[in-house]
Structure 1
Amino acid sequence: MTDDRTAFRAALPDGGRLLGLDVGTKTVGMALCDAQWTIATAAETIERRKFSKDLERIKTVIVDQFVSGFVVGLPLNLDGSQSKQTQAAKSFAQNLRPVGLPILLWDERWSTQAVTRDLIAADVSRKRRSQVVDQMAAAYILQGAIDGLAAIE
């Protein structure tokens, strides 16, 4: 588990699909990218239960989608300091370690707000926004990460 994109990139020399996670208190938004790390796509939102149930669903996605690494959104405060949500996301990522895939922690400041603003601009209903905002935030986080990883090559 690292926030160093160079180290993460080195752990995945052949690329591979990444699973982006936007970890909230009630839901986890998931997104996937292609194996060449060009585009992230919203996948699904899971309701948080016990971590073992959340992990069961995540493992299914890993197998079905041939995932080779995780990008977990790290909700820092605007000044870059950590909060309770930051610690919760780190704990969630730490709990993913037994899966055995590399984990990149990615600064997700403004992700949910940016996605919400875009959904409102697209005239998406409040109900529909609540259904997709977390998975779209995961895609936003993952896209930022893969863009950052591409700059390393």
Structure 2
Amino acid sequence: MSRPPGIRALGLDPGSKRIGVAVSDLSGTIASPLVVVQRSRSKEHDLHEIADLAREEEAEVIVVGLPLNMDGSRGPAARAATGFAKALATLVDVPVEMHDERRTTVTADESMMAAGLDAVQRRQRVDKVAAAIMLQSWLDARANRLSS
């Protein structure tokens, strides 16, 4: 089975206070936590900060986590993430996609607890780890789509 072509992807987990950011390796195989961007009072500023990060990381696609409800419906958080993605798409020259991120924050917190991190350490990292879990899911789904 041949491998799909690599892609440099930036993954975002936009929350109301912080935006978790993850990045893939150059082959588009492995996602890693990158940074947590603290939200400012200006959505415009936050969007430009993410757009700048995407350029610095030479992202070829940006994947924004879509926090669907467990039943698959879209609540306020999903609508906010969709609005964020649409606004970001106007500032960057690469595709902006959405990907289901249900339970990524819970999974991230559980994995950090298992690794022995205390509550303060987990709070500092959970958003970027959740972004990496979501981005890894997108990368795996992409590889499956391209190889079938």
TM-score (norm. length: structure 2): 0.90
1:47 equivalenced with 2:27 (yes/no): no
Alpha-carbon distance, 1:36 to partner: 1.7
* Matched AA of 2:131: A
Aligned-residue identity in percent: 38
**What is the aligned partner in structure 2 of residue 59 from structure 1?**
51
Over 3 Å counting, the alpha-carbon distance change for 1:121 and 1:86 in structure 2 is: same
Q: Is the 8 A contact 2:8 2:27 kept in 1?
A: yes
CA distance in 2, matches of 1:100, 1:15: 18
1:27-62 CA-partner distances (Å, limit 9, x unpaired): 100000012211000000011121221122212212
Match of 1:34 in 2: 25
CA–CA distance in 2 between the matches of 1:126 and 1:138? 19
Counterpart amino acid of 2:15? G
Counterparts of 1:87-102 in structure 2, within 5 Å, are 87-98=79-90, 99-102=92-95
The CA deviation at 1:127 is 0.4
Structure 1, gaps ≥5 residues long: 1-12
Query: Given the alignment, which residue of 111, 122, 143 partners 2:115?
Result: 122
Structure 2 CA distance for aligned equivalents of residues 143 and 28 of structure 1: 17
**RMSD, aligned CA:** 1.3
Could you report, residue by residue, the CA deviation over 1:82-102 in whole angstroms, capped at 9, with x for unpaired residues? 100000000000101111311
Query: Residue 84 of structure 1 aligns with which residue?
Result: 76
**TM score, norm. by length of structure 1:** 0.88
